[in-house]
Structure formats: C-alpha cells, structure tokens
Amino acid sequence: MKIAVLCSGRLAMPALKKLIEDGRVCAIGVPAEKEEAIQVCKPLATQHNIPLHLFKKKEFAEQLGNWYRTFTPAAVFVITFPYRIPASALALPQFGFINIHYGLLPEMRGADPIFESIRLQKSTAGVTAHIMDSDLDTGPIILRKEINLPPHFTYGMLSAQLAYQAIELCEKIIQAIESNNALDAVAQDSSKANYYGKINSSEVQLRWQSMDSAQLLALINACNPASKTGVPATINGWTIGVCCAAPVSLTGDLSSYSPGDILVADLQNGMLVLTKDGLALKLEVVYTEEGYFPGYVLSNFGIGPGMRFTDNNPE
C-alpha cells in the first residue's frame, strides 16, 4: 500500500520518517512558504527518491487534484498541514484524507491543541487519527492515543511525546487497511466537542492580579518554546518575557504584599514573585532585548523587591 503525505512542520517528522523507512510514501507535499519544512523534507525526499511538491495556497485546489492523479495513493496522510483540503478532493483516495491531529477529539478541536491542552491544565493529551470531511476536525475517528499530561510539561516536551505517539497510529492505520481493506471509524460525539481558535495576543500575558499560580505556570509552559521571547510581563512600564518559572511555597506573614510583588531577587533565592493564591513563582529564565537571564539578574536593571508586576489588560 502506498500513501502520500501532506505536512508542514517538525512535529510531523518522526511519523514521516518512519513511513518513508517502511517504504510506504509515494509523494510528499509541503506549503511553498514553509521554508523550514522544505529544508527538512527535501533531503529525505532526495535520499529516498520520493517526489516533493511545493503547494501554493492560491492554486492549492487545482494543484492537489493534479498531484493526486499523478500518484493515486490509497490514502493521503495529513500531518500538520495548514491548508484546508477542498471538499471536491476529499473522496479522491480510496481511504480518504486521514488527518493526524495532535489533540484528543472531539474535546480539543482547533489549530493548536498542544498549546490549549497545556494552557487549560488538562490532565491528559493525545493524538487522534480521523477521516477528514468538509468541516474542521469533525470527521469520524479511526484511532485515539491518550497520554497523561503532567503539570510541568512544556509545549516542547508534549510535542516530542505526541510526535512519536503518531508513529504508532500511522502504522496501525496501514495495518488495518491491509488486513481488512477497510477502515473502522466512529462518528465524533458532538456533545463533547470544543473548538479552540487562534488565541488573541492580548490573552498571552501574565496577569498577576487575576491568575493564580497554576494558571500562570500553565501559560508559561504552553509558550515554551513556541514563543522564543516568553510570556510578556510588565513592570515599571517595561515588558519582559518569562520563559520558564517554578512554584515556590512561602512561609511567614504576607498580608502586606499583593499579587505581582517581587519578594526577593538574589543569587541564592532567585527572583520570587507573589501570586494571588499565596505562592510565589521563581522566574527561572526571562527574556529582555539584552538577552536571556535568570530572573534575579533583572536587579542589574533596577528591578527588585518593592516593585510590582502589573496587568496590561486586566480581565
């Protein structure tokens, strides 16, 4: 059985490489504007003598039809591909377009379920394979693989876990087709469905007065390393980025302090910032235009105890 693969990011690479190693891939397609994907896929395609096609968004519908008719794969695996598959193309392959979605469906529909799973403090995450239909992330489910999501997991850590879980799903799908010449798929339960659209940039910032320590940490972890400059936090009119933080329990009387207050900033203790639930966040790594530093180094810029992080856009 031969398949074609549409992909656009590093998240797809473990599954793509395994499919290529198994001799399954007859063609690869990536968006023409995704330079990183091209740089990764081109050597693989060249090494294994697999045609690599660069799709242009404005011409995608026509190009996709021609591409399919050239190679006639039994199925097309869609792995982190940003263009919407035209409805006219969905029925072309015998076993359809199969989307590898890096989130649990139907609960985590949307463009970035990895980010949302961490930000929303879900206890589980996973990968779902489903047959694509004319809507987004709504097609019948073939397989789901669920894993535990520890609260300390970052975007990068979860991405790595799920990227390798996807290999298993792809292999099982191919085995099912070759064994039964069919795919068993179950309609999604729409009563459990949630769709998470692209998050507004104003929501991606640390609000010390309205978010508790778990919410603050979840947002920081969800952006690490997706946001290279961390999550914005404002103090004295200056915005820095918090890239990594850790919770710290406190003792003593804190009644004179408010959420966002810097409690200490030194080499021994680091920079500790009070949260609304009475804990502190230790700012392990922060970003400024001058570079990446442990939080306590901000004292060299005049930022220290007695100062308070404020909310730009309080809820």
User: From CA 239, how far away is CA 198, in angstroms rounded?
Assistant: 23
Distance in angstroms (rounded) separating the CA atoms of residues 227 and 146: 26
Helices (H), the chain: 13-21, 35-47, 60-71, 113-119, 155-180, 213-222
- The pLDDT of residue 201 is 85
Domains 3-196 and 201-310 agree in fold: no
Q: Is 166 helix (H, G, I), strand (E, B) or coil?
A: helix
What confidence tier does 186 reach under pLDDT thresholds 50, 70, 90?
A: very high
Q: What pLDDT shows up at residue 126? A: 98
Task: Enumerate residues 6+ apart whose C-beta is below 8 A from 160.
Answer: none
Handedness of CA 141, 188, 116, 79 (dihedral sign): positive
pLDDT (mean) for 213-225: 98
pLDDT in tens, 97-147: 999 999 999 999 999 999 999 999 999 999 999 999 999 999 999 999 999
Strands 3-7 and 75-79: parallel
Query: Residue 81: pLDDT above 90?
Result: yes
Q: What is the pLDDT of residue 313?
A: 54
Phi, then psi, of 266 in degrees rounded to 5: -150, 170
Mean pLDDT confidence for 240-258? 96
pLDDT of residue 315 exceeding 50: no
For position 200, what pLDDT does the model report? 87
Q: Quick one: average pLDDT of 223-248?
A: 96
Cα distance between residue 95 and residue 271, in whole Å: 55
Confidence of residue 314 (pLDDT cuts 50, 70, 90): very low
Topology of domain 3-196 in CATH is Rossmann fold (3.40.50)
Query: Looking at domain 201-310, which CATH architecture does it have?
Result: Roll (3.10)
For 251-260, which contacts have Cβ atoms below 8 Å and span 24 or more sequence positions? Answer: 254/278, 258/209, 258/308, 259/208, 259/209, 260/208, 260/209, 260/308, 260/309, 260/310, 260/311
Confidence of residue 47 (pLDDT cuts 50, 70, 90): very high
Instruction: Provide the CA 219 distance to its chain's centre, in angstroms.
Output: 13
Q: Residue 291: pLDDT band by 50, 70, 90 thresholds?
A: very high
Exposed, middle or buried, 113 (CB in 10 Å: 0-12/13-18/19+)?
buried
Q: What is the pLDDT of residue 9?
A: 87
C-alpha 255: how far from its chain's center?
39
Q: pLDDT over 90 for what percent of the chain?
A: 95
- The string of pLDDT tens digits covering residues 19-44 is 999 999 999 999 999 999 999 999 99
Mean pLDDT of 146-169: 97
State phi, psi for 302 to the nearest 5 degrees: 85, 15
Residue 202 reports pLDDT greater than 90: no
Q: Are 69 and 26 in contact (CB under 8 A)?
A: no
Q: Where are the domains of the chain?
A: 3-196, 201-310
